[in-house]
Amino acid sequence: MVCLKRVVDFNIRVRVKPDRSGVITEGVKMSINPFDEIALEEALRIKERSGAGEVLVVTIGKADAQQQLRTGLAMGADRAVLVETDALLEPLAVARSLHALVERESPDLVLLGKQAIDDDNGQTGQMLAALWGRPQATFASKLELAGATARVTREVDAGLEIIDVELPAVVTTDLRLNQPRYVKLPDILKAKSKPLNVIPFAQLGVSAAPQFTLVHVDPPPQRSKGIAVRDAAELVTVLEQRGLL
């Protein structure tokens, strides 16, 4: 099972709404979260190596998120599930929703990106593993399956860490795990006939009540214009004047 999130495309410049209540998404290109796309690519490679199994893609969000699920199906996933809701869910509510799907689907492995590029929380995978009561391996840069064990190479501050976890398990993927494949037109056409099941959020029995209140969203401060200096001596003088040396 691969968990996808619909986010503003990484090539698009994010703009804050005039009322500072969030970012503008109307009329903006939306895509699969890049880290989740890496997770899906890894799931497809696992299936291709084994010659068996099924890849299920799931997402939670508005009806428009079917577009990202169809992209996942075009990449090679077998079927898709959309938990439809207009509510803006926090990571814990998302993890609880995914856990409800896990209970229904009983996957051998759950893959998702280490974080989403819109909020950068990096919490959902860990919360899902805790709710499920199963092992987790985060920030995976390499994933190898052998029977009922997954060997995961993790990127940590000191270098690389290799751990073995028993399946079923939750694995979150890092940037260097793989390079996702390009979707071709014939695959897009085939994806239209693949099953996509829509489940109302209320059917999961999960509370969407927020724990936090969003006060406002602000863009990063604009950088001040730089100045040109003639030589290193003048550079040192300017830095001293600004209290940087």
**Crossing angle of helices 91-105/124-132, nearest 10°?**
50
Determine, yes or no, domain membership for 226: no
123 and 89 in contact (C-beta within 8 Å)? no
Q: What share of the chain in percent tops pLDDT 70?
A: 100
Residues 224 and 238: their CA atoms lie apart, in Å, by 15
**C-alpha torsion 181→186→190→196, nearest 10:** 50
pLDDT of residue 227: 85
Determine, yes or no, domain membership for 9: yes
Residue in this structure with the two tokens 């890049």, named with its chain if needed? 34
224, pLDDT greater than 90: no
Q: Kindly state the tokens that stand for 245.
A: 């040396």
Determine, yes or no, domain membership for 194: yes
Determine, yes or no, domain membership for 166: yes
Q: The pTM is what?
A: 0.86
Determine, yes or no, domain membership for 244: no
Residue in this structure with the two tokens 């994806």, named with its chain if needed? 191
Side-chain-facing half-sphere of 207: CA atoms under 13 Å: 4
Determine, yes or no, domain membership for 183: yes
Q: How confident is the model at residue 119 (pLDDT cuts 50, 70, 90)?
A: confident
Task: Tell how far CA 92 is from the center of its chain.
Answer: 15
Determine, yes or no, domain membership for 71: yes
Provide the domain count of the chain. Answer: 1
Q: Which domain holds residue 190?
A: 2-218
Q: CATH number of the domain at 138, please.
A: 3.40.50.620
Q: How confident is the model at residue 111 (pLDDT cuts 50, 70, 90)?
A: very high
Determine, yes or no, domain membership for 223: no
Instruction: Give the pLDDT confidence of 132-164 residue by residue, as tens digits.
Output: 999 999 999 999 999 899 999 998 888 899 999
pLDDT of residue 233: 92
